A = this chain, B = another copy of it.
């Protein structure tokens, strides 16, 4: 590592003198005294072993070496200015990247709207959405690859302690039936009715599937008795299956808003059964929080949060 034979301040002074043609005027321009300017130039000349200015005549004129140095000087100072501007933009959210993690469900149905709102407010910040499993998303937040994430499942306990987990909204997992299913007419189903249904579910590795299983079990159902027609790994596929009359399913309400409105799918109510899960915001408190991430958390998320969410009161 070579030592630097000059400082940015010296270059700034050099430029000022060259522009003004005078040490004194340069000093005035830079709000310092004339000796300060003289000494810095002397230092510079000593360090580089060159003469920079001809002080003979009325004006301070550049020597050949001075002109050479000035050329670089301008380039260097321009780069510095540019760097400052870029940093400022980043600070004022006119640049930069926000990396958001999400599970399949939120990533597909919720995040696009949120990101849309964010981009509307801060169009210069590019947003990257990474859809992964809850586990992988958790690790990505832990090691900083993701700024913040929304998850619907349970984090491994080691990660749970490492990360900041804030409940942010409640996501209902609604029982949906084909519209033409005979049970679709009943106003309210009984838990027993569930055993009569054929289910189309997510595959058993999925966090959402695990959550549903656990909630059903907790409410006293014997999930072994539930008939599973097929396991698919995509909510869209399941939705299509349900619409085609292949069976019933517990699906996040956010994922079926359109279908409910269109009446192509039926949402059933089951007495004494609420299948709800917490959507949680996770961030890494031990890592740097980018401005974009901060703003997203403070301004965007609350608009999508349920009323009882802590984020409402931030």
Contact = CB atoms under 8 A, between A and B. Distances in A.
Contact of A12 (B1, B80, B82, B287): B1
Interface stretch (A83-91, A179-187, A237-245): A83-91
A68 B292 CA distance: 15
How many copies the complex holds: the figure is 2
A290 B63 contact: yes
Interface string A63-98: 111001100110110011111101100110000110
A54 interface: yes
A288 B56 CA distance: 9
A16 interface: yes
Contacts of A75: 79
Contacts of A73: 83
A82 B86 contact: no
Contacts of A288: 51, 54, 63
A8 B4 CA distance: 8
Interface string A1-13: 1101111110010
A225 to B, nearest CB: 48
A49 interface: yes
Interface of A: 1-2, 4-9, 12, 16, 29-30, 48-51, 54, 56-57, 61, 63-65, 68-69, 72-73, 75-76, 79-84, 86-87, 90-91, 96-97, 143-144, 286-288, 290
Contacts of A64: 90, 96-97, 290
Given A64-B96, A65-B87, 4 more contacts: A2-B81, A48-B87, A63-B290, A69-B83
Contact of A80 (B50, B54, B57, B76): B76
Contacts of A6: 8, 80
Most buried by B among A8, A51, A69, A144: A8
Contacts of A69: 83, 86-87
A285 to B, nearest CB: 10
A80 B288 CA distance: 31
12 contacts: A1-B30, A4-B9, A5-B84, A7-B7, A8-B8, A49-B91, A54-B287, A64-B290, A72-B86, A75-B79, A76-B76, A76-B80
Pick the most buried of A7, A79, A81, A97: most chain B CB atoms within 10 A of its CB: A79
Contacts of A144: 54, 61
Contacts of A48: 84, 87
Contacts of A81: 2
B63 A87 contact: no
**4 closest cross-chain pairs (CB), A and B:** A72-B83, A51-B288, A63-B288, A56-B286
A81 B1 CA distance: 11
Contacts of A90: 50, 64-65, 68
Nearest to A74: B79
A1 B19 CA distance: 12
Contact of A4 (B4, B61, B80, B96): B80
